[in-house]
């Protein structure tokens, strides 16, 4: 299957500051693709380049196997910054202006996107009366005009309270179920982990890793154990064969092993034969947050 987006050696500098350094990766069709990185890592620059807002110094990118063009751009809805809506106009009137400027969608389309973002009941309310979450949902509605195949969002939950974040998360999941390819830049690792199936991690303009989330995380197995005597358990596990390292976290102990080698029954038997009865034994998946900090910390 042809990737929706392919980047080849994208490089961009602002004077002496190199914002992106030879970045290459692919976004598969139907993916929810998270672009992760600390502030200043090049996420917004990357999105601006693939949306033809900025021009790269070198390298190339292709949408649907073709170079970017006004025609391919019509298949991409985007939300890069706080939307420029008129505070004294209703949702419908604001979307009419967006539709006229972008040339995407029509009156029927406006009703359709308002239904998707759950603003139908408030479509005649002034934008100034909306909560931050509603304002962001309307902005996503504007990106949905014309029923684009791909959606590009820059920090879609930025500045929202927990309720607003949850609303945007559910909306992204809904759009993914409808077959949209979604590319979203974020520094909220927990949110990305909840909605994304693919991820790329940037640091100071360099790509550290990219691929399916499960593959990015699966570089080692983690077995989490506990027993009544934590010190004794730690001492015993230090003689368990094949582990790479051990981490103590309060009353829990994490045993790290090469990927694909962790067998819970072996750990249980080993501890039992050493006179320790475990009260917790579970395989633990590394969080994206843990992986992110491993990669981005010097």
Instruction: Tell me, yes or no, whether 188 and 49 share the same domain.
Output: yes
- Strand order across the beta sheet in which 280-284 lies: 245-249, 252-258, 220-226, 280-284
Residue at which a domain ends, from 104, 128, 147? 147
Instruction: Tell me, yes or no, whether 153 and 276 share the same domain.
Output: no
Confidence band, pLDDT 50/70/90 cuts, at residue 249: confident
Pair 296, 206: CB distance under 8 Å: no
Q: What percent of the chain has pLDDT over 70?
A: 93
Question: Is the overall model pTM greater than 0.75, yes or no?
Answer: yes
- Residue that wins the pLDDT comparison between 189 and 180: 180
Rounded to whole angstroms, the Cα distance separating 196 from 183 reads: 9
- For the chain, state the CA radius of gyration: 23
At 182, list the tokens. 């979604």
CATH number for position 28: 3.40.50.300
Rounded to whole angstroms, the Cα distance separating 67 from 258 reads: 41
Strands 181-186 and 32-36, by their bridges, are parallel
Q: What percent of the chain has pLDDT over 90?
A: 44
H helices of 228-287, in order, are 230-237, 264-273
Domain count, the chain: 3
Instruction: Tell me, yes or no, whether 153 and 171 share the same domain.
Output: yes
- Residue that wins the pLDDT comparison between 40 and 46: 46
Instruction: Tell me, yes or no, whether 242 and 287 share the same domain.
Output: yes
CATH number for position 239: 3.30.70.980
- Residues 178-188 have a mean pLDDT of 90
Instruction: Tell me, yes or no, whether 237 and 286 share the same domain.
Output: yes
Q: Round the average pLDDT of the chain to a whole number and report it.
A: 87
Question: What's phi and psi for 258, nearest 5 deg?
Answer: -55, 145
Instruction: Tell me, yes or no, whether 173 and 243 share the same domain.
Output: no
Burial of 260 per CB tally in 10 Å (0-12, 13-18, 19+)? exposed
- Res 266: pLDDT: 92
- Res 10: pLDDT: 95
**Over the stretch 148-158, which tens digit does the pLDDT of each residue have?**
999 999 988 88
- Residues 15-21 have a mean pLDDT of 91
- Residue that wins the pLDDT comparison between 292 and 58: 58
Instruction: Tell me, yes or no, whether 97 and 133 share the same domain.
Output: yes
Instruction: Tell me, yes or no, whether 109 and 255 share the same domain.
Output: no
**Over the stretch 192-227, which tens digit does the pLDDT of each residue have?**
878 899 999 898 899 988 988 877 766 678 889 999
- Residue that wins the pLDDT comparison between 215 and 40: 40
- Residue that wins the pLDDT comparison between 82 and 265: 265
Residue 276 belongs to domain spanning: 218-296
User: Of the ranges 40-44, 190-194, 267-271, which is most confident?
Assistant: 267-271
- Res 286: pLDDT: 66
**Over the stretch 92-109, which tens digit does the pLDDT of each residue have?**
999 998 888 777 766 778
Query: Is 70 exceeded by the pLDDT of residue 274?
Result: yes
First to last CA, the chain: 37
Pair 228, 63: CB distance under 8 Å: no
Instruction: Tell me, yes or no, whether 140 and 159 share the same domain.
Output: no
Burial of 268 per CB tally in 10 Å (0-12, 13-18, 19+)? middle
Rounded to whole angstroms, the Cα distance separating 105 from 97 reads: 11
- Burial state string for 135-159 with b = 16 or more CB within 10 A and e = fewer than 16: bbbbbbbbbbbbebbbbbbbbbbbe
Residue at which a domain ends, from 96, 129, 147? 147
- Residue that wins the pLDDT comparison between 36 and 298: 36
Residue at which a domain ends, from 179, 196, 215? 215
- Res 287: pLDDT: 64
Query: Is 90 exceeded by the pLDDT of residue 55?
Result: yes
Instruction: Tell me, yes or no, whether 104 and 62 share the same domain.
Output: no
Instruction: Tell me, yes or no, whether 207 and 257 share the same domain.
Output: no
Instruction: Tell me, yes or no, whether 58 and 160 share the same domain.
Output: yes
């Amino acid at each position: 299957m042809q990737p929706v987006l392919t980047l080849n050696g994208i490089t961009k500098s602002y004077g002496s500051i190199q914002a992106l350094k030879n970045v290459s990766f692919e976004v598969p069709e139907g993916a929810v693709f998270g672009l992760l990185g600390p502030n200043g890592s090049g996420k917004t620059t990357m999105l601006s380049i693939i949306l033809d807002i900025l021009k790269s110094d070198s390298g190339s990118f292709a949408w649907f196997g073709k170079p970017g063009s006004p025609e391919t751009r019509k298949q991409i809805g985007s939300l890069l910054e706080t939307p420029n809506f008129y505070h004294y106009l209703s949702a419908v009137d604001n979307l009419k202006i967006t539709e006229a400027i972008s040339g995407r969608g029509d009156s029927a389309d406006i009703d359709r996107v308002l239904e998707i973002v759950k603003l139908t009941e408030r479509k005649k309310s002034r934008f100034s009366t909306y909560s931050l979450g509603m304002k962001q949902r309307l902005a996503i509605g504007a990106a949905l005009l014309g029923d684009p195949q791909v959606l590009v969002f820059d920090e879609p939950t930025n500045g929202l309270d927990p309720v607003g974040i949850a609303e945007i998360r559910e909306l992204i999941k809904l759009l993914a179920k409808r077959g949209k390819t979604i590319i979203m830049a974020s520094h909220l690792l927990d949110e990305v982990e909840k909605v994304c199936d693919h991820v790329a991690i940037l640091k100071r303009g360099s790509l550290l890793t990219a691929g399916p989330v499960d593959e990015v995380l699966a570089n080692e197995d983690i077995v989490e154990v506990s027993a009544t005597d934590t010190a004794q358990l730690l001492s015993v596990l230090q003689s368990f064969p094949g582990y790479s390292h051990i981490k103590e976290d309060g009353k829990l102990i994490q045993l790290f092993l090469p990927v694909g080698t962790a067998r819970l029954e072996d750990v249980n038997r080993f501890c039992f034969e050493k006179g320790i009865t475990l009260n917790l034994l579970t395989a633990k998946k590394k969080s994206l947050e843990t992986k992110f900090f491993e990669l981005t910390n010097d």
